[in-house]
């Protein structure tokens, strides 16, 4: 007989799969590798040499998608801690450098956009 928590976990997992399937998620494996290389470790705490997970800055449960602009590599500890919190609120709560993260995220996004479309990375 399934326990109550197992049944609840299965229900939540099924809901999540439906939400993900209903969205346009266009993050390719090549883009994910480029993100990992560009960040060089956990985007939030800077940990290197650990397994990195895909984290949506705007959580799937809050309308986010798996796209280059919304996904950052992070360690399991940061991913579990952030859960579905809004990224800047979570960073303030954890006393992480929010400004440095946002500047770096902008730089990485711009560099990846320039790699795909060289005209996108040039200043006007």
Mean pLDDT across 25-32? 86
Question: Where does the pLDDT of residue 78 fall: very low under 50, low under 70, confident under 90, or very high at 90 and above?
Answer: very high
DSSP letters for 25-72: ----HHHHHHHHHHH-S-TTT---SS-EEEEESS-GGGT--SSTTTEE
**pLDDT, tens only, 44-58:** 999 999 999 999 999
Residue 17's pLDDT is: 67
In order of start, what are the domains of the chain with their CATH numbers? 24-121 (1.10.30)
Nearest to 122 by CA among 114, 54, 78, 62: 114
């Amino acid at each position: 007989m399934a326990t109550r928590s197992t049944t609840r976990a299965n229900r939540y997992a099924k809901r999540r799969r439906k939400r993900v399937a209903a969205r346009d998620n266009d993050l390719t494996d090549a883009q994910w590798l480029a993100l990992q290389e560009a960040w060089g470790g956990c985007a939030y705490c800077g940990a290197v040499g650990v397994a990195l997970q895909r984290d949506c800055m705007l959580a799937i449960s809050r309308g986010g998608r798996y796209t280059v602009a919304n996904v950052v590599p992070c360690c399991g500890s940061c991913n579990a801690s952030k859960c579905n919190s809004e990224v800047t609120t979570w960073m303030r709560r954890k006393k992480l450098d929010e400004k440095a993260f946002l500047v770096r995220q902008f730089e990485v996004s711009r560099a990846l956009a320039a790699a795909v479309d060289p005209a996108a990375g040039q200043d006007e």
